[in-house]
Amino acid sequence: MELLETILSNQNMNEAYLRVYKNKGASGVDGVTVDELKQYLKENKDELRQRIRTRKYQPQAALRVEIPKENGKMRKLGIPTVVDRVVQQAIHQILSPIFEKQFSEFSYGFRPKRSCEMAIVKSLEFLNAGYEWIVDIDLERFFDTVHHDKLMRIISNTISDGDVISLIRKYLVSGVMVNGKYEETSVGTPQGGNLSPLLSNIMLNELDKELESRELQFVRYADDALIFVKSEKAASRVMKSIVRFIEKNLGLIVNTEKSKISRPEDLKFLGFGYYYNSKDERYQTKPHPISVQNFKRKLRQLTKRKLERSARLSNIETKTSYIWMGKLLQDYKYERRYEASR
């Protein structure tokens, strides 16, 4: 069976619908709600699949929304229509197991059975093994700068079904609606789509493979990556060569002002800070003060919006299907677990 037919199979499409329905979320540009999705698919599923098979299917533009980041800037998200979310989810469910076999054991973001906590634990392992110089590389607007052709070439090395390749590219170039006006997306993989986390890992797996080929110790969670070495000289050498690789081979932009060589005490990673426990003679972690402050501020904002009393914030997942809320919920979960363990 061709890969596209596996994606469009009744079982896979039904599972995709159930996942989208469970995740709820806002409507896209067409205004169709998640609650209306079941009836729409009942009436149009066969036609939808036929349009995809014949390459006549055209995804709609994503609805641009912005949410505040902890640095005061805004994070741009693209909310696909609920139908496009189902198709993207169907693609994701089939492609993810294929690419999972290729991904690095040191990559933890947006992958099954992996978590932020695991990334933090691994970083502590490296620090306590003597790798106390950290190369912290900041990718500038990563999701907005992914080079489509480079990404599609990487995907094509694994996926030979041209129909699937064509469908993925259509999502990349489907554009966004900003204040009622259409804008092209000639670069980038907009945050918000069900496919974006997988596509980001496919692209940055090239960085992982380069680091592994150099036998470097590293931890990556989505576009947050740390490289651990044993001396300042080695850190400086790695910084220069890896920045060159990222910009030349991946076509991504490194923020040279934010990228830095750090010591453990100066590090902030996934909402955590690091400190040396002289009693135990080991590095340990605790919620970073900035993250705690940001969480408390945003929690007050949520409270003002009269959050339902039944909502249990400690169980809110840190990874949502189509809106990523920065590090807020990660920081909250870390804080609660840290306090419970004291």
Instruction: Report the pLDDT value the prediction gives residue 1, as an integer from 0 to 100.
Output: 59
| pLDDT higher than 50, residue 340 | no
DSSP code for 61: P
Is the pLDDT higher at 271 or at 85? 85
Decide: 152 and 165 in contact? Cβ < 8 Å.
Answer: yes
Instruction: Report the pLDDT value the prediction gives residue 291, as an integer from 0 to 100.
Output: 64
In this structure, are strands 176-178 and 260-262 parallel, antiparallel, or unpaired?
unpaired
Average pLDDT score over residue span 329-338: 39
Instruction: Report the pLDDT value the prediction gives residue 71, as an integer from 0 to 100.
Output: 67
Instruction: Report the pLDDT value the prediction gives residue 68, as an integer from 0 to 100.
Output: 79
Is the pLDDT higher at 318 or at 248? 248
Average pLDDT score over residue span 129-139: 97
pLDDT band at 70 (very low <50, low <70, confident <90, very high): low
Average pLDDT score over residue span 229-239: 98
| pLDDT higher than 50, residue 152 | yes
Which residue from 134, 129, 128, 131 is spatially nearest to 280, judged by alpha carbons? 128
The separation between CA 83 and the C-alpha centre of its own chain, rounded to angstroms, equals 21
Q: In CATH terms, is domain 3-269 a member of 3.40.50.11030?
A: no
Residues whose CB is less than 8 angstroms from the CB of residue 120 and which lie 6 or more positions away in sequence, other chains included: 269, 270, 272, 285
Alpha-carbon distance of 16 to 89, in angstroms, equals: 5
Instruction: Report the pLDDT value the prediction gives residue 318, as an integer from 0 to 100.
Output: 38
Instruction: Report the pLDDT value the prediction gives residue 297, as an integer from 0 to 100.
Output: 66
Quick one: how many helices (H) and strands (E) in the chain?
12, 11
State the span(s) of the chain assigned CATH 3.30.70.270.
Answer: 3-269
| pLDDT higher than 70, residue 111 | yes
Average pLDDT score over residue span 57-74: 87
Q: At what angle do helices 116-128 and 328-341 cross, to 10 degrees?
A: 60
| pLDDT higher than 90, residue 179 | yes
Share of the chain above pLDDT 70, in %: 84
pLDDT band at 304 (very low <50, low <70, confident <90, very high): low
Q: What angle do CA 217, 220, 224 make, to 5 degrees?
A: 125
| pLDDT higher than 90, residue 273 | yes
Give pLDDT tens digits for 247-270.
Answer: 999 999 999 889 999 999 999 999
